[in-house]
């Protein structure tokens, strides 16, 4: 078997400080050796040897909150929640495009975060079958909501309740949640998404948890029995604590997280995905909008007065400023953080994933090394794949990037296609500009 020798690399393995003059050997889809150049095995005549002088070798990135079917309207300001607004076949095409985009941005793994109509499972299988060129897919279910919650599409779109589910799946009571969890995991999903609170974006936040403890438990027990995971939209202290108590694995957004939440999350070994780029983009538009001239176009689907719109925007600002003020404390506490934001929603085009990482480093002062760990090692650990992916070590699967730049000094270099010189997924070069 021909091997590939990446020699003289600056190794950024997602866990440790960079190590210079390192050789990584890949055979098939596995990393077979990681050592100092001087201690590396000798290449054979058929092996490919690549000198990476001045370049960084790092694990493939993970996008931890991937809505594969979002983005129909190209990042404009008036995208509906994707459900039945588009035919299923069109959503599949979008998902294929988004998956290919992610892979070519260096994101070799994605963790789904709700989609309609089995899209993620189809995408996962299409990638495995070679039908779509895409990253490794951890497939997510519909977004499970209770009647009357802010994400329940029946509140605003008459067709959402007709039996063919759009993005969301409306459920009430533990039995309904249990059955839906069994059904969607049985169809091949890997993670269940539940909507536990309003807030984080266009909906006004309130300190509530939509789901009862019994409903939460019905989902987590059913998923964990099958070795699967559960993620929850949480934007209130009450919902964070309720979800963590019920052993939800991935806490999305976690707005209003505080010391009590941090302690509970650490105790439960849960993962937090703050996904703050959306806030930043939303407020950039909302706070500069001429609200006297025309209505602000991003809302939750209900008519509202100008005063209500302005109050909603002020609420988003308060939530954002609060989370900005505590995120460093969360990071320093040892909570496992992972990157992943609502790309495909208005102002957030798929492919712009590195901007979220850049925000944490440049606006919030989180060290780049930590944010890279959030996008590699932590993400793999969060879904129980840390022994296979997320770092560069002997025996692991070969998902690798070669970067002509120093992401520790300037994380934005990861966004530049010219600097992303190679992308390797499962031992195969997706991009090879070496
Ligand atoms: Zn989302």
pLDDT of residue 74: 46
Alpha carbon of 374 to ligand 1 centroid (Å): 18
pLDDT of residue 262: 98
pLDDT of residue 299: 75
Alpha carbon of 113 to ligand 1 centroid (Å): 6
Distances (CA, A) of 119 to 63, 79, 101, 231, 232: 17, 19, 16, 17, 19
**For the chain, which domains are there?**
3-59+389-432 (2.30.40.10), 61-352 (3.20.20.140)
Alpha carbon of 422 to ligand 1 centroid (Å): 29
pLDDT of residue 417: 95
Alpha carbon of 424 to ligand 1 centroid (Å): 27
The model's pTM: 0.95
Alpha carbon of 65 to ligand 1 centroid (Å): 6
The residue among 120, 230, 118, 121 whose CA lies nearest residue 165 is: 118
Alpha carbon of 426 to ligand 1 centroid (Å): 27
Alpha carbon of 10 to ligand 1 centroid (Å): 35
Alpha carbon of 84 to ligand 1 centroid (Å): 17
Q: CA 137 from chain center: how many Å?
A: 11
Query: Is there a contact between 96 and 126 (Cβ–Cβ < 8 Å)?
Result: yes
Alpha carbon of 344 to ligand 1 centroid (Å): 9
Alpha carbon of 176 to ligand 1 centroid (Å): 22
Alpha carbon of 67 to ligand 1 centroid (Å): 7
* 299-338 per-position pLDDT tens digit: 766 678 999 899 989 989 999 999 999 999 999 999 999 9
- For 323, residues 6+ apart whose C-beta sits below 8 A from its C-beta are 254, 255, 256, 257, 274, 276, 279
pLDDT of residue 404: 97
How many helices (H) and strands (E) the chain has is answered by 11, 18
**How far is the C-alpha of 90 from the C-alpha of 95, rounded, in Å?**
9
% helix / strand / coil in the chain, to the nearest 5?
Answer: 35, 20, 45
Alpha carbon of 429 to ligand 1 centroid (Å): 30
Radius of gyration of the chain (CA): 22
- For 93, residues 6+ apart whose C-beta sits below 8 A from its C-beta are none
Structure tokens at 375: 């996008």
Q: CA 387 from chain center: how many Å?
A: 19
Which regions in the chain score pLDDT beneath 70?
Answer: 72-85, 150-165, 201-203, 300-302
């Amino acid at each position: 078997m021909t091997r590939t020798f990446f020699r003289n690399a600056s190794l950024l393995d997602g866990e440790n400080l960079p190590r210079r003059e390192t050789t990584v050997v890949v055979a098939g889809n596995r990393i077979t050796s990681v050592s100092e150049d001087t201690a590396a095995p000798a290449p054979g005549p058929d092996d490919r040897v690549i000198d990476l002088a001045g370049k960084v070798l790092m694990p493939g990135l993970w996008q931890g909150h991937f809505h594969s079917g979002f983005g129909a309207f190209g990042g404009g300001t008036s995208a509906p929640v994707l459900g039945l607004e588009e035919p299923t076949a069109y959503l599949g095409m979008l998902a294929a495009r988004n998956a290919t985009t992610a892979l070519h941005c260096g994101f070799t793994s994605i963790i789904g975060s709700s989609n309609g109509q089995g899209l993620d499972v189809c995408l996962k299988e299409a990638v495995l079958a070679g039908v779509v060129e895409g990253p490794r897919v951890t497939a997510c279910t519909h977004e499970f909501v209770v009647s009357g919650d802010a994400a329940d599409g029946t509140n605003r779109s008459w067709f959402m309740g007709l039996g063919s589910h759009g993005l969301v799946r409306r459920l009430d009571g533990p039995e309904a949640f249990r059955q839906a969890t069994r059904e969607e995991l049985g169809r091949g999903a890997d993670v269940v998404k539940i909507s536990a609170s309003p807030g984080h974006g266009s909906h006004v936040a309130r300190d509530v948890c939509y789901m009862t403890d019994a409903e939460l438990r019905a989902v987590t027990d059913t998923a964990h029995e099958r070795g699967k995971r559960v993620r929850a939209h949480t934007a209130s202290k009450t919902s964070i604590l309720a979800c963590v108590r019920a052993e939800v694995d991935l806490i999305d957004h976690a707005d209003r997280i505080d010391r009590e939440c941090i302690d509970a999350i650490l105790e439960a070994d849960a993962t937090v995905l703050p996904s703050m780029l959306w806030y930043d983009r939303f407020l950039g538009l909302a706070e500069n909008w001429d609200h006297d001239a025309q209505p602000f176009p991003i809302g939750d689907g209900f008519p509202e007065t100008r005063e209500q719109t302005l109050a909603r925007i002020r609420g988003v600002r308060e939530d954002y400023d609060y989370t900005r003020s505590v995120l460093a404390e969360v990071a320093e506490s040892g909570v496992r953080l992972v990157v992943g934001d609502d790309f495909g929603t208005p102002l957030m085009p798929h492919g712009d994933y590195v901007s979220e990482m850049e925000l944490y480093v440049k606006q919030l002062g989180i060290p780049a090394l930590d944010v890279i760990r959030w996008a590699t090692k932590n993400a793999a650990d969060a879904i129980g794949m840390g022994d296979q992916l997320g770092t560069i070590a002997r025996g692991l699967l070969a998902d690798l990037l070669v970067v002509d730049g120093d992401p520790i000094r300037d994380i934005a270099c990861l966004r530049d296609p010219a600097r992303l010189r190679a992308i390797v997924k499962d031992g195969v070069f997706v991009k090879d500009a070496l």
